[in-house]
Structure 1
Amino acid sequence: MAGQFRSYIWDPVLIISQIALMQSIYYSFLALWLAALDLLIQNSPSLDQIFNYDILGFSSVHGRLSMIAFILNSLTCAVGLLYFIRRGKQCLDFTVTVHMFHLFGCWIYTSHLPSTFTWWLLNIVCIALMAVIGEYLCMRTELNEIPLSSAPKSNV
């Protein structure tokens, strides 16, 4: 097929490693954001902050700070999409995959499907932020000029 700019080659090892990398970025930076915000209110971090959907809410300071950590984490993961996925077309796929694994993790941790409106709303907002900002960043780099020669330009 001559004439294609970028051909797509099915590489399951690359895709699985990118999923694992994005999942590790998601949880490691979420833990860092939660730890940093827990220092503000002198609270001890726990796995409940990540996987227990009952903690999230507007009624307590702890719940609001946890929600802020999730939103900041989606911004951090958007930068991860830029550096490790590098394709604007794939940002939504990887974003939904990361959040689906998080849904399964919450389900396994609490033995219940998350049932609070706040958890679902927060995750939809985080998916939208991560996907849109990740696509924007990736498309900006995809639209950069491609240098045709390494020789310096001369002013004629």
Structure 2
Amino acid sequence: MPPRRRKPPRAGALTELPPLKIIRSILLLQLSYYATAFVLILFMTLVLGQKFSLALIFDWNSVRGDNTIGWTIGFLWVVDGFITVIPILLLVSRSKLVPDFALTIHFLHLLVTSLYTRTVPTNLLWWGLEAASATLTISLGVWACRYRELQPISFGTVPRKATQTTTNGPLEADDHVRNGQGRGRNIDAGPSYEMVNVTRADENV
């Protein structure tokens, strides 16, 4: 009995994004997310003359609406979501996968914050800023990936304004089209010929 043939994998299946690649992309995006937050919050503490601690990153109580530092940290988390668009564009590159990765980043941040404080965040300001950051990351990430996907692909065709040097001067690409050497024909395929009038021999008698 001949062996049973397997169906070929459909387009967009796990062959394009294997599980190991997905996990690696998530880890790199999460590290980039926290590295950006670390740099931004550290810079803020140095400017304001405050003491830096990991609680400013992983403690949801640091986002507060009754002091300037709390508002600044919340604003920096939104900026972090804006900057995260860059690694998403480099690692994901597909617009339909951007919402999944962006929401995964913020969901893992929720888990890390809850484990660090041993409580689920109850600060409405923290939830609002996280929602704003996720929305910003998704919208800009989808736009950037779609813009990259819709870029025209060059197959080595001659640009419209490309010129070719001849004995009489530069020759525009449009001139090749008028001479019958354009529109799918190779410009350097060979010489061009002109039609001439042929006279009959008896007319000259």
For normalisation by structure 1, the TM-score amounts to: 0.91
- Corresponding pairs, count: 151
- Partner in structure 2 of residue 107 of structure 1: 114
- Partner in structure 1 of residue 33 of structure 2: 26
CA distance, structure 2, for counterparts of residue 131 and residue 45 of structure 1: 30
CA distance, structure 2, for counterparts of residue 22 and residue 53 of structure 1: 20
* Pair 1:98 & 2:105 matched: yes
Matches within 5 A, 1:34-53: 34-53=41-60
- Partner in structure 2 of residue 7 of structure 1: 11
Letter in 2 for 1:8: G
Structure 1, unaligned stretches of length 5 or more?
A: none
- Highest relative contact order (Cα 8 Å, sep 6+), 1 or 2? 1
Offset from partner CA, 1:33-84 (integer Å, 9 cap, x none): 1111222211122111111111102211110110121011011101111111
When structure 1 is superposed on structure 2, of 78-87 and 96-105 the one drifting more is: 78-87
* Pair 1:127 & 2:134 matched: yes
CA distance, structure 1, for counterparts of residue 141 and residue 97 of structure 2: 10
SS at structure 2 position matched to 1:136:
helix
- Partner in structure 1 of residue 90 of structure 2: 83
Identity of aligned residues (%): 24
- Partner in structure 1 of residue 125 of structure 2: 118
CA distance, structure 1, for counterparts of residue 158 and residue 13 of structure 2: 34
* Pair 1:66 & 2:79 matched: no
Q: Is the CA contact (8 Å cut-off) linking 1:37 and 1:69 kept in structure 2? A: no
CA distance, structure 2, for counterparts of residue 136 and residue 39 of structure 1: 34
CA distance, structure 2, for counterparts of residue 130 and residue 93 of structure 1: 11
Q: Is the CA contact (8 Å cut-off) linking 1:22 and 1:80 kept in structure 2? A: yes
The Cα of 1:7 is off from its aligned counterpart by 3.0
RMSD in angstroms over aligned alpha carbons? 1.7
Offset from partner CA, 1:1-33 (integer Å, 9 cap, x none): 9xxxx9324111111111011001100011011
Letter in 2 for 1:140: Y
Offset from partner CA, 1:108-151 (integer Å, 9 cap, x none): 000101111111111101100111111111111111001122x5
Structure 1 stretches of at least 4 aligned residues deviating more than 6 Å after TM superposition: none
CA distance, structure 2, for counterparts of residue 7 and residue 23 of structure 1: 28
Structure 2, unaligned stretches of length 5 or more?
A: 1-6, 163-172, 175-205
- Partner in structure 1 of residue 185 of structure 2: none
CA distance, structure 2, for counterparts of residue 62 and residue 54 of structure 1: 11
